[in-house]
């Protein structure tokens, strides 16, 4: 089983922010990445719709014999993880908004959370707020409407991007945030633009590396790590368009990108 791939899925290219960290932390692992861009954005869908899509995506990956699945999407993780873990036998790694580390490190005791509607409305976010020591921390949540589409169109440098980001981030700055949690895996692709607006007093928290390290811990625990001499291969599937995958993955020439119906 150790030579089997790690599976990842997202509604599009957002999960590549996680995939890049996985490649860095686990360089010998084969990966299979699924971009369900036919059904993007997930953040606008109901919990039941997200569960059904997450099931379909997981089965696509399981049919390709993956040994572990990283749900590289906050909207799917916060809404579908309990269901997936109950239904399938392999380990699932979830992404959750990093409000705990942000709360612990905040000096102003005000943190920003930019996320999709589905994540902001999820019961998991509510539970997360209850169990972490952030009682004395104010969370300023904003729905980043339109940002997923910008990243899917690889249009990060357009003026519209800055006007949307200003619309979401200025109210957070006015409340004196010093940490910004990115609650959607698409948003790390906008960090340079966000940092220009936020300046250097606000730290942006991208959960990619901790997630990749968590995947490594789980693979180690289950004795599933790839052999140290394995040369990794990386396959990417999309069901509507492979354009954004091609643009973002051009710096990784060992990637194989394919259109696939599923």
Catalytic residues: 73, 184
Name residues contacting ligand DGL, limited to 96-155 (CB under 6 A).
116, 119, 148
Name residues contacting ligand DGL, limited to 197-216 (CB under 6 A).
none
The correct pick among 5, 6, 7, 11 for binding ligand DGL (CB under 6 A) is 11
Tell me how crowded residue 166 is: count the other CB atoms within 10 A of its CB: 13
Q: Which residues, 6+ apart, have CB-to-CB distance to 16 below 8 Å?
A: 10, 33, 72, 245, 248, 249
Name residues contacting ligand DGL, limited to 144-163 (CB under 6 A).
148
Nearer to ligand DGL, 58 or 74 (CB): 74
> Are residues 99 and 113 in contact, defined by beta-carbon separation less than 8 angstroms?
yes
Residue 74 as a binder of ligand DGL (CB under 6 A): the answer is: yes
Which part of the chain contacts ligand DGL (CB under 6 A), choosing from 103-111, 126-134, 183-191, 205-213?
183-191
Structural tokens at position 246: 């091609």
Nearer to ligand DGL, 68 or 73 (CB): 73
Which part of the chain contacts ligand DGL (CB under 6 A), choosing from 49-57, 178-186, 206-214, 253-261?
178-186
Using DSSP bridges, classify how beta strands 31-35 and 234-238 pair: parallel, antiparallel or unpaired.
parallel
Q: What are phi and psi of 220, to 5 degrees?
A: -65, -45
Secondary structure (3-state) at 129: helix
The correct pick among 30, 129, 186, 234 for binding ligand DGL (CB under 6 A) is 186
Q: At what angle do helices 74-87 and 47-62 cross, to 10 degrees?
A: 60
- Residue numbers at the binding site for ligand DGL (CB under 6 A): 10-11, 14, 40-43, 73-75, 116, 119, 148, 184-186
């Amino acid at each position: 089983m150790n030579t089997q791939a790690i599976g990842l899925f997202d509604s599009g290219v957002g999960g590549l922010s996680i995939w890049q960290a996985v490649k860095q932390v686990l360089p010998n692992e084969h990966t299979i990445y699924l971009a369900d861009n036919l059904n993007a954005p997930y953040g606008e869908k109901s919990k039941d719709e997200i569960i059904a899509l997450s099931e379909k995506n997981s089965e696509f990956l399981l049919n390709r014999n993956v040994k572990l699945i990283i749900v590289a999407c906050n909207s799917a993780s916060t809404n579908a993880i309990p269901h997936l873990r109950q239904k399938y036998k392999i380990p699932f790694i979830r992404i959750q908004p990093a409000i705990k580390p942000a709360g612990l490190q905040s000096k102003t005791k005000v943190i920003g959370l930019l996320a999709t509607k589905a994540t902001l409305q999820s019961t998991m976010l509510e539970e997360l707020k209850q169990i972490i020591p952030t009682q004395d921390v104010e969370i300023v949540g904003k729905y980043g409407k339109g940002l997923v589409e910008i990243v899917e169109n690889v249009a990060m440098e357009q003026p519209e991007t800055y006007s949307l980001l200003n619309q979401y981030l200025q109210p957070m700055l006015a409340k004196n945030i010093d940490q910004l949690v990115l609650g959607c895996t698409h948003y790390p692709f906008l960090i340079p633009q966000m940092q220009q607006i936020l300046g250097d007093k606000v730290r942006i928290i991208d959960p990619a590396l901790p997630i990749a390290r968590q995947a490594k811990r789980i693979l180690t625990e289950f004795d599933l790590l790839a052999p140290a001499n394995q040369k990794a291969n990386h396959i990417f599937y999309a069901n509507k368009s492979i354009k954004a995958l091609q643009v973002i993955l051009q710096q990784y020439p060992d990637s194989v990108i394919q259109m696939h119906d599923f």
